Amino acid sequence: MNKYIIEGSFPLKGKIKASGNKNSALPCIAATLLTDSEVILKNIPEIEDVRVMFEVLKSLGVKVSRKSHGVYSIITTDIKSSEILAEHANNIRASILFAGPLLARTGKVMMPPPGGDVIGRRRLDTHFLAFTALGAQIEIDGMFRLNANKLVGADIFMDEASVTATENAIMAASIASGKTTIMNAASEPHVQDLCNMLNSMGAKISGIGSNILYIEGVKKLGGTEFEIGSDFMEVGSFIGLAAVTRGELEIENADPEHLRMVKIAFNKLGIHWETDGSTIRIPSGQDMRVSPELGGMIPKIDDSPWPGFPADLTSIMTVVATQVEGTVLIHEKMFESRMFFVDKLIGMGARIILCDPHRAVVSGPARLRAAELVSPDVRAGMAMVIAALCAEGKSVIQNVYQIERGYESLSEKLISLGAKIERV
C-alpha cells in the first residue's frame, strides 16, 4: 500500500495546468457503449478511477487504446457481455454509470451494488425510478438485474438532483423511443459535458445547463471526438493549498466560470484570486480573515446542488478554515460520514467542534502538528494532504490509493511547486 511522507510548513509556488474533470470523464467513458462507432476522448485524467472504468469496458468486449497522454480511442462494435464484474464494481461507485447505456444498447444489465468512497449512505433509488419510468424491469437479489424489451421516452421527475442518476437517465433516454423530459435534473458542468458529447454523437438533448432536460430519442448514435472540461474540484483544492501554505500559484486551463460559488466561499475566508482568461492566479500575502455576515454573525459555508457550493470541496474548506483568523460554520448536507475525518484534524491541533455528522464549527488560526493519517476517501484524503503541507513536522498519510483515484499525478505536481513530499 502506497503512502505519502510530507514535511510541512513550506510555501508552495509555481504553475500547474488543471487536469481533465474526473466526474466528466467517467460518464463520458460509459456513454461510448451507446454507439458501435469509434469515440475519441481527450483531456481524460490519468487516474485510478479512469483505469477501472476502462477495465470494465474491456471486460465487456470493448477495444480501448491510449493514443497519447489523456487521449483514448474506444471502439464498442461488439459487446460480449452485459454483466459488470464484482471485482470492478466493488472498486468504483461510478460503475453504476454503465447501467443506463448497457440497458439501452443490449436490453439487459446485471451488476452488484457499486463500491467507492465510504462517506455515508449513497442511495441508488433515483437511478431505478428513472429506469422504471423508461420501461425497465428490475430485480434485486444481492445483484441488480435490469431488463427492457424496449425503452420508451417518459416524463421523469427525479426525487433528488442526483448527478449519476441524471446521467444514467440521459444515456438511457438518448436512444429510447420517443421523447423524455427529466425534471429536477442535476446540471453540474460534468452533466453538461455528457450532454454535449452525446449531442456530438447525434443525440437530441436540449435544456443543457438547466434542471429541466428535453431528450428526443434517436435510433442510433455515431462516433465523435470530444474533449472534456477541466476539473474544478482539483482547481478548488489547489487554491486552498496555495492559501494555507502562504504560497503563490498559477493554474492554467482552470475554467473560472465554473468557480463562481467557490470564489464566494473562499472570499468569506479572506482568500482571493485574479483571473486572466482561463488562468487563475492566487497571490501570496492573503488576508486570511473570516468576513462576518451582516450584524457580525458567523458566516456559513454549505453545499448544495449546482450552481451551489460543491459537496466535494467541503472537506477542503474545513482544512482551509483552520488556518484563517475567525470562526466559520461548515455545513455538509449530503453525506452522513464525510465530516468524520475532522477528528484527525483535531488530533493535529485544529480547533473544531463537530456538532453532528453534518456540521462543524471551525475557529482559527491553529498551528497544526504532523501526524500519522489514513485517507478515508478522495476528498478527505486531499484535505489531509493540505493539512500535512501546512503542519509543523513530518506527516505520513496511508492509503493514498484513495486520493489518487481522483487527483492526477498529485505528488509530481506538488513536488514541482516545491512541496517536500515523498511517495513510498
Q: What is d(CA 155, CA 168) in angstroms, rounded to the nearest whole number?
A: 15
**Residue 59 identity:** S
Q: What is d(CA 62, CA 81) in angstroms, rounded to the nearest whole number?
A: 10
Q: Which residue intervals of 35-124 are DSSP H helices?
A: 48-59, 86-89, 99-106
Q: Taking the CA atoms of 97, 98, 103 and 109 in sequence, report the sign of the dihedral they define.
A: negative
Is 184 in contact with 156 (CB distance < 8 Å)?
no
Q: What is d(CA 149, CA 348) in angstroms, rounded to the nearest whole number?
A: 57
Q: How far is CA 76 from the centre of its chain?
A: 25
Q: What is d(CA 186, CA 174) in angstroms, rounded to the nearest whole number?
A: 16
Cell of 188: 453540474
Cβ burial of 372 (10 Å; 0-12, 13-18, 19+) is exposed
Torsions phi, psi for 63 (to 5 deg): -95, 120
Beta-carbon count within 10 A of 349 CB: 16
**Residue 233 identity:** M
Is 127 in contact with 96 (CB distance < 8 Å)?
yes
Under 8 Å CB-to-CB from 68, ≥6 apart: which residues? none
Is 74 in contact with 39 (CB distance < 8 Å)?
yes
49 is catalytic: no
Q: By C-alpha distance, which of 61, 76, 19 is closest to 42?
A: 19
**Residue 236 identity:** G
Of the residues 117, 193, 312, 377, which is catalytic?
117
Is 116 in contact with 81 (CB distance < 8 Å)?
no
Torsions phi, psi for 71 (to 5 deg): -120, 125
- The CA-based diameter of the chain, rounded to the nearest angstrom, is 64
Cell of 232: 474544478
Q: What is d(CA 156, CA 396) in angstroms, rounded to the nearest whole number?
A: 48
Residue positions annotated with a catalytic role: 117
